[in-house]
Amino acid sequence: MESQSYDISSINQTELFGVNEKNLQFIKLIFPQLNITVRSQQMSVQGSPMDMERFSIFFEQLLSSYYKHKEITEKLIMSIFQQEDVKEDNAEVLVYGAKGLAIKARTKNQERMVKEIDKKDMLFAIGPAGSGKTYTAVALAVKYLKEKRVRKIILTRPAVEAGENLGFLPGDLKDKLDPYLQPLYDALRDMLTQSKLDEYIEHHIIEIVPLAFMRGRTLENCFVILDEAQNATLSQIKMFLTRMGNYSKFIITGDPSQSDLPHHQPSGLMPTVKILKDIPEIATIYLTNTDIVRNPLVTKIVDAFEDKK
């Protein structure tokens, strides 16, 4: 058991550790094997040499982000923590985020997504909630756009959520659809400034649209992502895949365990994967619970539900 003290006298502890030490409690959650205490201007950490070394690297990166941005969030804390899963020296920086954070593949399967989409034009990423399917796909799309390897990004989702009906939501069509597409906006805001995102959307360089609006289009020189594909039927997925034009990349993400389609309407995601499995130009990557990069509790929740099956 080793012990180390950190001088935090020059740091605004509310900015770093959050109101009511919310960030500090989260750090303790992701380092359960360490005893972390803060008293006045000192933070003390106790644990095994290996755990202490990892925490030291983590805290150095956290302080670097703090001094640069003066804003620490749980998402940033988790991002820094998860970078250890893929060694920084080997992991390619996909994009530098809106606040300067280096966005990389955080797990081996996410790294496989990066490599496969460079070699193949279509990729299926199948895995549980929180495994980084969508986030990695959006980061790749932004990377391709910034490198001018595509001329636009198109992000789409089926407008199906937990049995709710669009007609009962208030507002015009955009108001009704935006809640379904919000996770895609959230990912983009991590990677682009709000002004740049607004500019791209205004000039149709980035389109975020429901799946139904894909019909009849030919998508050339685009990076296209179909997210939450488990909520699409077989005919809808076929319609989407056949939109593919020249010089485009398609990523289809989904979690077969979380379909919100009515019981009489089966998901088309896994039947599509089965139908296309022998086409060598299409890659399929199965992410697992070990790829989950949200709050550590998410992994335990997913495991608990699987144990009940």
pLDDT digits (tens, 9 = 90+) for 218-237: 999 999 999 999 999 999 99
* pLDDT beyond 60 at 164: no
Q: Which range in 61-70, 187-196, 239-248, 292-301 is most confidently predicted, on average pLDDT? A: 239-248
pLDDT given at position 87: 45
Q: What is the helix, strand, coil percentage profile of the chain, to 5?
A: 50, 20, 35
pLDDT given at position 184: 85
Q: Mean pLDDT over residues 179-190, rounded?
A: 83
* pLDDT beyond 60 at 124: yes
pLDDT given at position 79: 72
Query: What is the identity of the amino acid at 281?
Result: E
pLDDT given at position 120: 95
Q: Please check whether residue 98 is in contact with residue 80, taking contact to mean a CB–CB distance below 8 angstroms.
A: no
For 61-101, what is each residue's pLDDT tens digit?
Answer: 888 888 877 778 887 787 777 665 444 445 678 888 776 77
What pLDDT band is residue 10 in, cutting at 50, 70 and 90? confident
* pLDDT beyond 70 at 161: no
Burial class of 160 by CB neighbour count within 10 A (0 to 12, 13 to 18, 19+): buried
What pLDDT band is residue 171 in, cutting at 50, 70 and 90? low
Q: Please check whether residue 232 is in contact with residue 259, taking contact to mean a CB–CB distance below 8 angstroms.
A: no
Q: Please check whether residue 120 is in contact with residue 281, taking contact to mean a CB–CB distance below 8 angstroms.
A: yes
* pLDDT beyond 90 at 166: no
| Cβ neighbours of 220 (radius 10 Å) | 14
SS3 126: strand
Q: Which residue's entry shows tokens 């365990």?
A: 257
